């Protein structure tokens, strides 16, 4: 059955259009509530959000939907996505909901659902909810309508939990850390957690106004934090995205450290302590070949999945891995959570910085990246990747790179774009390969 509402990471779209309207949000609440009404206990859903203006509208619509089918609602206000996953499990809720469009601009919003175990829902569960959304809701009698309340201690619970991811003997005293919260969901909790562990914190991206989330700040807009790290003479910069499940690091020289380097560092540290499970790391097809070679050199594997942190997590659970993520900064450390958590990953990086005594530029340069180039080709219709001319060019490129590079070509899951990525030891060859394929796709489209 084709998905109408759910994409690779819940439901997402431009607010007040398409799938992201108040009407649809209420239907999601009614359908998801109905799906999770199991057993005779009083049912509860935890709802969190980031700082988008539209979060109020979506939250209210979801509350109406859930309470109309008999679910009690607990609202946390702005909190990171991993905090909602944690609280869903800790509060023994039947369901968790995060209202966020992650790193997208404020005009977009989204709905992510978590089961009682704190993990994102399976494809089967999402399809079941979609089916219920197309049916008349099972409204309860007036005396069984759910109640809604806000809780005040959610932030404190999450801060306490993430601090437990660091060994009790570790303190960040003496570290100067710039923390960029993207004017998003972690604008209070991330600086607080790092400060409480002893660091001097320079916080930025902590003045959300409903429309400035991810605007010129955060993990997808790094110019501001790079300048601030250099200006302050900080030891390191921590950049989160709108819902704080991503982490990009800036070293003391103002250079970017992406998710591949962070995964390499964390995995090697856990291996040295005997705490790494699964025999390696799980990442996506977009992770750099340099990471794969580095891990092989220390006796570990790199298992690749489709793009999307849900696919990384699925493979981690299947294979018993405790480190995984994406080059873009999603960091999944299953010893400490059930979904990506940029703040937890940041604390692990800071702990390694303290233990090593090395500058961030040295500690976090785990491997030399192989030259990698990604280009996007927008098209107006059709299926250009199925054209014989495109297939022929791709086949020739794969032969050319065989044994010395990789080629990844995929359509975007959210827009009419073909993504063409190649990597290899010869940067000029990589660029030539990508350009040839992009030209072929444009001609076919």
Summarised one tens digit per residue, pLDDT across range 145-175 is 999 999 999 999 999 999 999 999 999 999 9
349, containing H or E segment: helix 342-356
Tell me what pLDDT residue 414 has.
Answer: 65
Dump pLDDT digits (tens) for 309-362: 889 999 999 999 999 999 999 999 999 999 999 999 999 999 999 999 999 999
pLDDT class of 415 with cuts at 50, 70, 90? confident
Please say if the pLDDT value at position 188 is more than 60: yes
**Helix pair 342-356, 154-163: axis angle to 10 deg:** 40
The share of the chain scoring above pLDDT 70, in percent, equals: 99
Would residue 300 be called left, alpha or beta, if left means φ above 0 and alpha means ψ between -120 and 50 degrees?
beta
Sheet with 417-424: strands ordered across:
372-378, 417-424, 405-411
**Fold exhibited by the domain 158-167+174-363:** Alpha-D-Glucose-1,6-Bisphosphate; Chain A, domain 3 (3.40.120)
**Fold exhibited by the domain 372-444:** TATA-Binding Protein (3.30.310)
Please say if the pLDDT value at position 82 is more than 80: yes
C-beta separation of 34 from 131 below 8 A: no
**Fold exhibited by the domain 11-152:** Alpha-D-Glucose-1,6-Bisphosphate; Chain A, domain 3 (3.40.120)
Please say if the pLDDT value at position 398 is more than 80: yes
Is pLDDT larger for residue 444 or for residue 248? 248
How far apart, in whole angstroms, are the C-alpha atoms of residue 190 and residue 204?
11
How far apart, in whole angstroms, are the C-alpha atoms of residue 179 and residue 248?
11
Q: What is the mean pLDDT of residues 393-397?
A: 95
How far apart, in whole angstroms, are the C-alpha atoms of residue 438 and residue 420?
7
pLDDT class of 382 with cuts at 50, 70, 90? confident
Residue corresponding to tokens 């206990």: 41
Dump pLDDT digits (tens) for 245-269: 999 999 999 999 999 999 999 999 9
| 316: nearest Cα among 327, 307, 303 | 303
How far apart, in whole angstroms, are the C-alpha atoms of residue 183 and residue 82?
17
Give the lowest-confidence range in 60-74, 138-152, 406-420. Answer: 406-420
Would residue 323 be called left, alpha or beta, if left means φ above 0 and alpha means ψ between -120 and 50 degrees?
beta
Give me 414's structure tokens. 């959210």
How far apart, in whole angstroms, are the C-alpha atoms of residue 186 and residue 319?
31
Phi/psi of residue 240, nearest 5 degrees: -105, 165
Asked if 158-167+174-363 and 372-444 have one fold, the answer is: no
Q: Helix/strand/coil (H, E, C) string of 34-63?
A: HHCCCCCCCCEEEEEECCCCCHHHHHHHHH
Burial label, 279 (beta-carbon count in 10 A; 0-12, 13-18, 19+): middle
Q: What is the mean pLDDT of residues 284-298?
A: 96
How far apart, in whole angstroms, are the C-alpha atoms of residue 321 and residue 335?
10
Q: What is the CA radius of gyration of the chain?
A: 22
Q: What is the mean pLDDT of residues 382-393?
A: 91
Parse the chain into domains and list their residue ranges: 11-152, 158-167+174-363, 372-444
How far apart, in whole angstroms, are the C-alpha atoms of residue 199 and residue 178?
10
Known catalytic residue at 412: no
* 3-state SS class at 317: helix
Dump pLDDT digits (tens) for 10-24: 999 999 999 999 999
Residue of 54, 68, 102, 165 with catalytic role: 102
Give me 157's structure tokens. 């619970």
Tell me what pLDDT residue 2 has.
Answer: 63
pLDDT class of 8 with cuts at 50, 70, 90? confident
Dump pLDDT digits (tens) for 209-228: 999 999 999 999 999 999 99
DSSP per-residue letters across 135-179 = S---PPPGGGPPPEEE-SSHHHHHHHHHHTTS-TT---TT-EEEE
């Amino acid at each position: 059955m084709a998905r109408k509402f759910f994409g690779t990471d819940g439901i997402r779209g431009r607010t007040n259009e398409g799938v992201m309207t108040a009407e649809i949000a209420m239907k999601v609440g009614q359908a998801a509530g109905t799906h999770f009404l199991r057993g005779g206990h009083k049912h509860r859903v935890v709802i969190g959000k980031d700082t988008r203006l539209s979060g109020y509208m979506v939250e209210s619509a979801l509350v109406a939907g859930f309470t109309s089918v008999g679910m009690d609602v607990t609202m946390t206000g702005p909190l990171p996505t991993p905090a909602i996953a944690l609280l869903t499990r800790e509060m023994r809720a039947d369901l968790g909901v995060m209202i966020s469009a992650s790193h997208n601009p404020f005009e977009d919003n989204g709905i992510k659902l978590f089961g009682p175990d704190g993990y994102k829902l399976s494809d089967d569960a999402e399809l079941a909810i979609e089916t219920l959304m197309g049916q008349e809701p099972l409204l309860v009698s007036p005396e069984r309508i759910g109640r809604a309340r806000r809780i005040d201690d959610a932030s404190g619970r999450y801060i306490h939990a993430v601090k437990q991811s660091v060994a009790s003997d570790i303190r960040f005293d003496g570290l100067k850390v710039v923390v960029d919260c993207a004017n998003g969901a972690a604008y209070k909790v991330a600086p607080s957690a790092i400060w409480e562990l002893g660091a001097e914190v320079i916080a930025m991206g902590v003045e959300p106004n409903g429309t400035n989330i991810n605007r010129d700040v955060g993990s997808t807009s790094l110019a501001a934090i790079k300048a601030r790290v250099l200006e302050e003479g900080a030891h390191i910069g921590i950049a989160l995205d709108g819902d704080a499940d991503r982490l990009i690091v800036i070293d003391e020289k103002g250079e970017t450290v992406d998710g591949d380097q962070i995964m390499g560092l964390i995995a090697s540290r856990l291996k040295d302590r005997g705490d790494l499970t699964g025999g390696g790391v799980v990442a996506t097809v977009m992770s750099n070949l340099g990471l794969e070679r580095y891990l092989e050199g220390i006796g570990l594997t790199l298992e690749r999945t489709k793009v999307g942190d849900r696919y990384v997590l699925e493979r981690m659970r299947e294979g018993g891995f405790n480190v995984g993520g994406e080059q873009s900064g999603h960091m999944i450390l299953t010893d400490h959570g059930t979904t990506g958590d940029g703040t937890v990953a940041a604390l692990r990086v800071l702990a390694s910085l303290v233990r090593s005594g090395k500058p961030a530029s040295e500690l976090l340069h785990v491997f030399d990246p192989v030259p990698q180039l990604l280009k996007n080709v927008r098209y107006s219709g059709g299926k250009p990747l199925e054209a014989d001319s495109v297939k022929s060019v791709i086949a020739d490129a794969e032969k050319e790179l065989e044994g010395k590079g990789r080629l990844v070509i995929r359509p975007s899951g959210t827009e009419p774009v073909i993504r063409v990525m190649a990597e290899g030891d010869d940067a000029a060859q990589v660029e030539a390969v990508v350009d040839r394929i992009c030209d072929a796709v444009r001609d076919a489209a």
